[in-house]
């Protein structure tokens, strides 16, 4: 994986902007600590930072072929197939890295080439003859890509912070941006980046910039089709797709490990990876995360019915992995809230972010690539809101059904159109759902829930995983995001997907003979959070900075009295801020992250 950025401008001479280009490159350093490169002309600058995973000795970027120059961030999982097709067309290859394949595929098939790629990627191809730029992002949105067009400049980057190194791009947040933070956050509307002048290139889209004009096109969408498979056929098909996706993502020229929580998804990945390693005479390394004294303070809930620690040793022993349990200090998790918010570029996922950042830094000490089980819950119906009828048919985001908590921390009258903003965001998403004629109300709603989860909840988790891992110079792959698997799961009838009345029922059935039964039928449990009061105490100490700083714009946005009441009585919060992952400690941490973000990014508000 890598970090990329670029600037096109007819109004300034980029050859004279070396300090700015150096700052942009420096801002991408953690995404690519192994190598750096630039392509600079009077009107164009392409910037690349490399984390070498495939063909470390070669494959430096920017890479040029003929009239085209590419900067690329990602991994392809069908590299060999595309390379073979190009060889048959007369192309020759100097490396075995996927960058060269993407570049020469573009030379051959132009924008159509992106439709052939199976992987996680964001890249830009510059045409030196007509001064146009093509940028594209993978179908699911695993790899980030932001862009801005202001004052005669077009710029793109892997990070928001990189774009803000350009003086013409100001860190301005208007009312829409504040609604993103307070009404929708830590989620954000697809395509939005909170800052007024910065946009996110949507997943499954490409953009062409030419003659100061932008054209954006969607190259892939989820379409409904009828699945007539029997239970046995669907189970076999699911097994094949999952296994093929995982095995494709085990290719690496550097050390690779897996994240193992003791849940179904990470156990499937680790089992398949371990089998492959054993066939090569190697032992797979697996990693889990926990917190100091967390067993003492764990409280069972609907969303978190059991602890990961009860299951990790069981699955590790079953697959024969060399397991490492990383135990994080609770105060350190709180202190890392600032680093994680700054890395993300917008207020984030509280300790769900900061703990992952610390975890990834520990894993990076020994490994460069990991596989993780994100996104199986979104596509196979793993969350409680898929299964609770009192939630399922509500016309709202199921993880943020009420704005009461959000309103309680804001001063009266602030963001008066917030609920309308939230409702419109929900409606726009549901309207994009593809149905089959004659489907039942349940099947139609399950398709809507799939789209809601894919475009919102899953994007929040993917952004978290990319930013926190790449901030640690660690590449994390997510096999359940293979677009073939997503397409298939979207069209599985609910009776098959929830086989035997269980969340992810078909996935459980597909691997029931390869994993311990306790793992196969374990009830869904989310990413582990700290329950230790030491963490909450430290979070409250940090948040006091925001509550006392009258010079910060955040002070006038908050209902200080209600925030302090929440700090004094966290159990009074009965409705989660964001699904199962954000309750009172996380809400206070989120307020602190907003404060840090405003200070570090020198945010300007246009209200």
Rounded CA-CA distance 433/128 in Å is 40
Spell 259-292 as b/e; 16+ CB within 10 A means b.
bbbbbbbbbbbbbbbbeebeeeeeebbbbbbbbb
pLDDT digits 0-9 by tens, 30-46: 999 888 999 999 999 99
pLDDT digits 0-9 by tens, 542-591: 999 999 999 999 999 999 999 999 999 998 888 889 987 788 999 999 99
According to the model, what pLDDT value does residue 439 have? Answer: 96
Q: Backbone phi, then psi, for 392, in 5-degree steps?
A: -50, -45
Q: Which residues are catalytic?
A: 2
10 Å CB burial of residue 372 (0-12, 13-18, 19+) is: buried
Mean pLDDT of 509-525: 92
Where do the DSSP E strands lie in 266-396? Answer: 285-291, 322-328, 369-371
As given in the structure block, the two tokens for residue 65 are: 């072929």
Rounded CA-CA distance 585/564 in Å is 12
**Residues with Cβ within 8 Å of residue 149, at least 6 apart in sequence:** 155, 209, 212, 214
Q: Residue 328 pairs with which residues in a beta bridge?
A: 291
Coil, helix or strand at residue 111: helix
pLDDT tier at 304 (50, 70, 90 boundaries)? Answer: low
According to the model, what pLDDT value does residue 305 have? Answer: 54
pLDDT digits 0-9 by tens, 85-96: 999 999 999 998
Element (H, E) at 462: helix 458-470
Sign for the CA dihedral angle at 490, 496, 501, 506 comes to negative
Contact 415, 175 (CB under 8 A): yes
Q: Which of 368, 401, 410, 392 is nearest to 446 (CA)?
A: 392
Rounded CA-CA distance 505/501 in Å is 7
Mean pLDDT of 400-404: 92
As given in the structure block, the two tokens for residue 267 are: 């156990």
pLDDT over 60 at 331, yes or no:
yes
Where do the DSSP E strands lie in 77-203? Answer: 119-127, 132-137, 146-150, 153-157, 172-174, 199-200
pLDDT over 80 at 274, yes or no:
yes
Instruction: Kindly report the average pLDDT of the chain as a whole number.
Output: 94
pLDDT over 60 at 389, yes or no:
yes
According to the model, what pLDDT value does residue 468 have? Answer: 97
**Residues with Cβ within 8 Å of residue 233, at least 6 apart in sequence:** none
Mean pLDDT of 126-130: 97
pLDDT digits 0-9 by tens, 450-476: 999 999 999 999 999 999 999 999 999
- φ/ψ bin of 324: left (φ > 0), alpha (ψ from -120 to 50), beta (otherwise): beta
pLDDT > 70: percent of the chain: 98
**Residues with Cβ within 8 Å of residue 127, at least 6 apart in sequence:** 67, 68, 133, 134
Rounded CA-CA distance 50/136 in Å is 18
Coil, helix or strand at residue 200: strand
Contact 573, 563 (CB under 8 A): no
Mean pLDDT of 523-537: 84
pLDDT tier at 386 (50, 70, 90 boundaries)? Answer: very high
10 Å CB burial of residue 423 (0-12, 13-18, 19+) is: middle
Lowest mean pLDDT, pick from 69-83, 118-132, 253-267, 290-304: 290-304
pLDDT over 70 at 303, yes or no:
no
pLDDT over 60 at 290, yes or no:
yes
pLDDT tier at 306 (50, 70, 90 boundaries)? Answer: low
Complete DSSP assignment for 144-178: --EEEEETTEEEEESSHHHHTTSTTS--EEEHHHH
Rounded CA-CA distance 475/464 in Å is 13
pLDDT tier at 60 (50, 70, 90 boundaries)? Answer: confident
- Secondary-structure breakdown of the chain: helix, strand, coil percentages, each rounded to the nearest 5: 45, 20, 35
Element (H, E) at 75: strand 68-76
Mean pLDDT of 297-301: 59
Residue 333, CA atoms < 13 Å, CB-side half-sphere? 31
pLDDT tier at 523 (50, 70, 90 boundaries)? Answer: confident
According to the model, what pLDDT value does residue 579 have? Answer: 83
- φ/ψ bin of 414: left (φ > 0), alpha (ψ from -120 to 50), beta (otherwise): beta
pLDDT over 70 at 23, yes or no:
yes
Lowest mean pLDDT, pick from 91-105, 238-252, 371-385, 568-582: 568-582
According to the model, what pLDDT value does residue 347 have? Answer: 94
């Amino acid at each position: 994986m890598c970090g990329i950025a670029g600037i096109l401008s007819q109004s300034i001479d980029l050859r004279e902007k070396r300090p700015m280009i150096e700052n942009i490159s420096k801002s991408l350093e953690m995404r690519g600590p192994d190598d750096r490169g630039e392509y600079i002309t009077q009107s164009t600058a392409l910037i690349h930072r490399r984390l070498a995973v495939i063909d470390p000795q070669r494959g430096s970027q920017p890479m040029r072929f003929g009239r085209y120059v590419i900067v690329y961030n990602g991994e392809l999982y069908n590299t060999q197939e595309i390379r073979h097709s190009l060889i048959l067309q007369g192309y020759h290859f100097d490396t075995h890295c996927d960058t060269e394949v993407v570049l020469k595929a573009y030379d051959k098939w132009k924008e159509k080439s992106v439709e052939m790629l199976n992987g996680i990627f964001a890249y830009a191809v510059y045409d030196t003859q007509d001064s146009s730029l093509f940028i594209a992002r993978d179908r699911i949105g695993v790899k980030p890509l932001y862009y801005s067009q202001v004052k005669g400049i077009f710029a793109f980057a892997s990070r928001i912070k990189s774009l803000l190194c350009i003086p013409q791009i100001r860190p301005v947040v208007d009312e829409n941006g504040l609604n993103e933070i307070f009404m929708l956050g830590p989620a954000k509307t697809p395509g939005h980046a909170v800052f007024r002048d910065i946009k996110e290139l949507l997943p499954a889209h490409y953009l062409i910039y030419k003659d100061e004009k932008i054209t954006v096109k969607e190259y892939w969408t989820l379409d409904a089709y009828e699945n007539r498979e029997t239970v046995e056929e669907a189970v076999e098909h699911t097994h094949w797709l999952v296994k093929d996706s995982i095995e494709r993502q085990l290719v690496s020229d550097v050390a690779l490990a897996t994240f193992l929580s003791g849940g179904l998804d990470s156990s499937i990945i680790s089992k398949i990876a371990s089998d492959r390693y054993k066939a090569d005479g190697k032992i797979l390394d697996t990693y889990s995360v926990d917190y100091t004294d967390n067993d003492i303070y764990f409280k069972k809930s609907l969303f978190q019915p059991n602890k990961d620690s009860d299951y990790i040793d069981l699955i590790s022993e079953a697959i024969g992995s060399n397991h490492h349990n990383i135990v994080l200090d609770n105060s350190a998790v709180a202190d890392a809230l600032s680093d994680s918010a700054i890395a993300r570029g917008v207020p984030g996922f509280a300790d769900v972010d900061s703990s992952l950042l610390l975890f990834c830094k520990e894993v990076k000490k020994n490994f460069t690539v990991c596989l993780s089980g994100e996104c199986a819950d979104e596509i196979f119906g793993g969350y409680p809101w898929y299964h609770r009828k009192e939630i399922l048919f509500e016309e709202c985001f199921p993880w943020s059904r009420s704005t009461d908590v959000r309103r309680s921390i804001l001063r009266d009258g602030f963001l008066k159109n917030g609920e309308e903003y939230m409702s419109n965001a929900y409606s726009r998403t549901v309207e994009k759902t593809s149905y089959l004629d004659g489907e039942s109300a349940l099947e139609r709603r399950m398709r809507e829930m799939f789209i809601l989860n894919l475009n919102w909840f899953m994007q929040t988790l993917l952004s978290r995983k990319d930013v926190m891992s790449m901030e640690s110079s660690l590449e994390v792959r997510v096999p359940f995001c293979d677009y073939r698997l997503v397409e298939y799961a979207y069209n599985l009838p609910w009776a098959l997907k929830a086989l035997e009345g269980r969340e992810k029922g078909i996935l459980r059935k597909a691997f029931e003979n390869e994993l311990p039964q306790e793992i196969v039928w374990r009830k869904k449990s989310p990413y582990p959070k700290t329950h230790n009061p030491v963490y909450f105490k430290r979070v409250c100490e940090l948040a006091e900075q925001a509550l006392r700083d009258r010079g910060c714009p955040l002070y006038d946005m908050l209902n200080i009295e209600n925030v302090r009441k929440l700090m004094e009585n966290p159990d009074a919060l009965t409705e989660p801020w964001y699904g199962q992952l954000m309750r009172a400690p996380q809400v206070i941490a989120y307020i602190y992250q907003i404060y840090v973000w405003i200070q570090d990014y020198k945010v300007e508000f246009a209200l």
